[in-house]
Amino acid sequence: MAKIINRFTGQIIAEDDSLTIKEIIIKNKANLRGTNLCGTNLCDADLRGADLYGANLCDADLRGTNLCDADLRGANLRDANLRGANLCDANLRGADLRGANLRGTNLCDADLRGANLRGTNLRDVNLRDVNLCDADLRGANLYGADLRGANLEQLKIWLNPCKRDILFILAYFPIEEVEGLRQKIIAGKIDGTQYTGDCCCLIGSLGNDKAANCIPYYDKGTHNFGEQLFLQIKEGDTPETNQFSKIALELCDEFLNGNGSGN
C-alpha cells in the first residue's frame, strides 16, 4: 500500500492502495508538513501552494514541478533535481538546497533568506526580486541567472572573497601573463568550467598551470573562491555581456595599475 509518513514522528499522513505515491502526494498537498519524500519522483506534478514545511525532499525528482506559492521553509532539498520547476513566490527560507539542480528554475519573488545554496546549479535561473539575505552562495553556478531586482547583499558578500583570492593569485604571476589573461577576458576566450585539456579556468587562463603549486594555500577547483567567479564565465562571454567577466577585467586592471602597468 502506498503511503506518506512524517519524517519526525513516523505517523502515517496518508495512504491509499489504489493510488501511486505521486498521486497521493498531489491529492494531499495541503498536508505534507515534515513528510519523508526522499528520492520521490514528482516530475511535472502540480504542487501549487503545497505545505512542505520541513519536508525531506533530498534526491527527489522535481523537474518541471509546479511549486508556486509552496511553503518549503526548512525543507531538505539537498541534491534534488528542480530543473525547470516553478518556485515563483515559494517560501524557501532556511531550506537546504546544497547540490540541487535549479537550472532554468523560476524563483521570481521567492524568499531564500538563510537558504543553503552552496554548490547549487542556478544556471539560467529567474531570480528576479528574490530575497537572498543570509543565503550561502559559495560554489553556486549563477551563469545566466536573471538577478534584476534581487536582494544582492549576500551576492556582494560572496564576491568579496572571490575578488580577494583573484588578486592574491595574480600576485604570483608575471605581469605579462596577467596582461594575457586580460586580453582573453576581453576576447571572450574564458571558459571557467574547463579543467581538463585546454584548461580555461583562472589558473589555466593565466597560461602557467604549474605555478598553482607555488601559491600558498591554493588548491585548484570550484571550491576556491577565485575559481568560483570564473565558473560564471563561459566561452564567448565578454565584459559587455557578462557581469562576472566585467568584474574579472576590473580585477586585472586593478592589479596591473597597482603594479605600474596600464591598459
What is the Cα–Cα distance from 111 to 121, expressed in whole angstroms?
A: 17
**Of 81, 118, 116, which Cα lies nearest the Cα of 102?**
81
**Of 118, 125, 123, which Cα lies nearest the Cα of 90?**
125
Classify residue 250: in a domain, yes or no: yes
Domain count for the chain: 2
Q: What integer best gives the mean pLDDT of the chain?
A: 87
Task: Report the run of H or E that residue 15 belongs to, with start and end.
Answer: strand 12-16
* Residue 73 grid coordinates: 521553509
Same domain, 2 and 103: yes
Classify residue 111: in a domain, yes or no: yes
Same domain, 23 and 134: yes
Classify residue 196: in a domain, yes or no: yes
Write out pLDDT tens, residues 104-150. 999 999 999 889 988 888 888 888 888 888 888 877 878 777 776 77
- pLDDT-flagged residues of the chain (< 70): 1, 148, 151-154, 195-198, 207-213, 219-220, 260-263
Same domain, 198 and 238: yes
Same domain, 134 and 15: yes
Last residue of a domain, one of 116, 134, 151: 151
- For the chain, give the percent of residues with pLDDT over 70: 89
- For the chain, give the percent of residues with pLDDT over 90: 49
Same domain, 17 and 138: yes
Classify residue 263: in a domain, yes or no: no
Query: Which pLDDT score is estimated for 110?
Result: 92
Last residue of a domain, one of 119, 135, 151: 151
Query: Which pLDDT score is estimated for 138?
Result: 77
Same domain, 96 and 36: yes
Domain that holds residue 59: 1-151
Classify residue 41: in a domain, yes or no: yes
Last residue of a domain, one of 151, 176, 196: 151
Query: Which pLDDT score is estimated for 54?
Result: 96
Same domain, 80 and 188: no
Same domain, 200 and 79: no
Same domain, 184 and 248: yes
**Domain with 11 in it: what CATH number?**
2.160.20.80
Query: Which pLDDT score is estimated for 60?
Result: 97
Classify residue 227: in a domain, yes or no: yes
Write out pLDDT tens, residues 74-110. 999 999 999 999 999 999 999 999 999 998 999 999 9
Q: Are 45 and 22 in contact (CB under 8 A)?
A: yes
Same domain, 28 and 13: yes
Same domain, 121 and 20: yes
Distance of CA 213 to the CA centre of its chain: 28
Same domain, 50 and 87: yes
pTM for the whole structure: 0.68
As a three-state string, the secondary structure of 110-151 is CECCCCECCCCECCCCECCCCECCCCECCCCECCCCECCCCE
Classify residue 74: in a domain, yes or no: yes
Classify residue 110: in a domain, yes or no: yes
